[in-house]
Each structure stands twice: as structure tokens, then as C-alpha cells.
Amino acid sequence: MSNDPACIFCKILRGEIGSVKIHEDQDTLSFMDVMPQSPGHCLVIPKRHAADILEISADEAAVLIRATQRLAKAVKSALLPDGIGVYQFNGNAAGQTVFHVHFHVIPRHAGAELGFHARQMADPATLYPLASKIAAAFSQ
């Protein structure tokens, strides 16, 4: 499970660091990105630590992409964006900043620019209402 003592996502999984959770099952956790590029930006991570997508099995990848698709559908239903970006980075040169495999689900609205990746912390008070909306849609 969450077995890397230095990994921030493993710390979230172990409850050492708080997060604004959306959905959790036995294999994955979905939560709000604390440095969102747009309102509703969220993440999906596996509960087993792996630095990137090259370190997970095909079965683990299938579980992770199913969870990502469910989250994207919930974001679409809850927030009504014009589009949804699904991103996944592997390695420093590719833009990965947390070395625990994860997918970004980012709602996009026509004409709205994306914020920069991993630059500015959001006020947690703005994340909770969005997470509640997405979580409600997740369970439908």
C-alpha cells in the first residue's frame, strides 16, 4: 500500500497529511488538487506506491484508468465543463512533480486559461464545496 515514507501521496494515504477527498475504494483514492489549474482539478492515485506508470502492472493500470474515467464522468456531471483534460506525467522532464503515479482530471471551460501546474496553493475552503458536488455525482 502506501509504503514510501517520503512520498506526499503515501502520507495522504496513511492519514499523515490531510486532503479533500472525493472518493476512495480498496485500490484508489480521488481527491482535490491543492494547486489546481482550474476549479475542480482533482487527482486519482493508486494506493500502492509506484513512482510512475512504468512501475505498475497492466492490471493496476486498468484499475487506475477505470477510476479516472469514473472521476471524469463525475466532474462532467457535477461541474458542467465544456471539456475535461486528463493528464498523466512520467519523470521530471515530462513535468511530474510528485513521484507517485497519478492522473489529473481538469475541467475546462471555453475561454478560460489554465493556471500553471504546481504553482499556487488553493484556499481549502474553495475545495470542499467542489469536492462535495463531485462526490455526489460520483455516487450516481
Rounded mean pLDDT of the chain?
93
> Is-catalytic flag, 102?
yes
- DSSP string spanning 76-133? HHHH--SEEEEE---SGGGT--SSS--EEEEEE-TTPPPPPTT--PPPHHHHHHHHHH
Using CA atoms, how far apart are residues 111 and 123, in angstroms rounded to an integer? 23
CATH 2.40.50.100 for domain 8-138: no
Instruction: Please determine, for residue 39, whether its predicted confidence score (pLDDT) is greater than 90.
Output: yes
Question: Per the residue annotation, which of 102, 104, 109, 117 is the catalytic one?
Answer: 102
Q: Indicate the domain borders of the chain.
A: 8-138
Full-model pTM: 0.94
Q: What integer pLDDT is reported at residue 114 of this predicted model?
A: 87
Residue type, 118: A
Instruction: Please determine, for residue 29, whether its predicted confidence score (pLDDT) is greater than 80.
Output: yes
pLDDT tens digits for 40-56? 999 999 999 999 999 99
Q: What integer pLDDT is reported at residue 105 of this predicted model?
A: 98
Residue type, 38: S
Is residue 90 within 8 Å of 96, Cβ to Cβ?
yes
